[in-house]
Amino acid sequence: MSNVESAIQLLNIQTTRKIEENLDSDNNTKAAIILDYFKRLKEIQNPTNQVETCEVCFEDMTPENTYIYKPCGHSFCLSCVKDTVKAQIENNKAKIQCMEAGCTSVIPYCDLIQYKLFADEKMFLQFRENSKRVFLNGQPNTRYCPKCETPVIGDPNHPKIVCTTCGISYCFNCRVEYHDGYTCDQYKEWKKLNDKSESMFLEYMKNGGGALCPSCGMAAERISGCNWMYCNPNVGGCGKGYCYVCSKLCDHFSPHILQRNCSLTTVGHN
């Protein structure tokens, strides 16, 4: 669509709106609207040589490098319009607003494509992501995976959500790991008590009550024997061995254990 065709389309929209607003007016008013329409239509179809100036860059505009916003009718040079499209997309906007101060008109998607207002494919993809994010954020049932942030539109009547990206299950209502068989309040209370117990346990371990496997974090406590600890996979461990005193990964028969080369060793054989 050329700029002349765009201007005619805009004129048709504006005139239709005027007619609808004046349906109850007298015939003289209606006639004036029609006469004004044909006058402006003639001016569009047979433009004078008068050159318009872009209000942003103050450069002269020709019909070929002019973009007319709809339905407001404000016009700017294509170069400035492309600049504002780029800036607004980079600012995560999904609706490209008119540059006229206070105007809320937006560039329709078809014009973004027709006038080639996207600088490149990367900008187009960013615009599409912006549009998707705005749409999802406007939906009351949108939830984001607590692990990878993948969005989904859930159902409060079926609170278990399985993320299609990372596979974890989480609750639609409280947005934490799914707690099958427990209400959100019950899980919240359990988590509170569990976190307190874990904090007390870690404090106990920190004060010499045991050791944590340096590979997987499994807790262990030495009762007797040498300083070599085996992280037993039969009880959830990783199968690695390490020094109980300094937590260095090592083999059972390594010098670190047999020759007691650990510089922190204070615990001997019992």
3-state SS record for 204-259: HHHHHHCEECCCCCCEECCCCCCCEEECCHHHCCCCCEEECCCCCECCCCCHHHHC
Highest-confidence range of 62-76, 188-202, 249-263, by mean pLDDT? 62-76
Instruction: Give pLDDT, residue 172.
Output: 95
DSSP state of 177: B
Residue 95's pLDDT is: 93
| Global pTM value | 0.50
Number of residues written out for the chain: 270
Average pLDDT over residues 7-21: 82
Q: What are the Cα distances from residue 238, in Å, to 89, 201, 256? A: 48, 20, 20
Is pLDDT larger for residue 5 or for residue 144?
144
More confident residue, 188 or 200: 188
Query: Residues 6 or more apart from 10 whose CB is under 8 A from it?
Result: 68, 70, 71, 73
Q: In this predicted model, which residue has the larger pLDDT, 149 or 27?
A: 149
pLDDT confidence tier of residue 222, bands split at 50, 70 and 90: confident
pLDDT band at 268, cuts 50/70/90?
very low
Sign, Cα dihedral of 252, 258, 261, 263: positive
Task: List C-alpha distances in Å: 114 to 1, 2, 60, 87.
Answer: 8, 10, 22, 19
Assigned token pair, 2: 């050329």
Instruction: Determine the Cα angle at 211 with ends 210 and 216, to 5°.
Output: 140
93-109 pLDDT, tens digit per residue, is: 999 999 999 999 999 99
Q: Per mean pLDDT, which range of 11-15, 41-45, 120-124, 170-174 is the poorest?
A: 41-45
Q: Nearest 10 degrees: CA dihedral of 119, 124, 130, 131?
A: 120
Confidence tier at 269 by pLDDT (50, 70, 90)? very low
Residue 1 pLDDT > 70, yes or no? no
CATH architecture of 3-135: 2-Layer Sandwich (3.30)
Preceding peptide of 233 cis, ω within 30°: no
Mean pLDDT, the chain, whole residue set: 85
76: helix, coil or strand?
Answer: strand
Of residues 182 and 83, more confidently modeled: 83
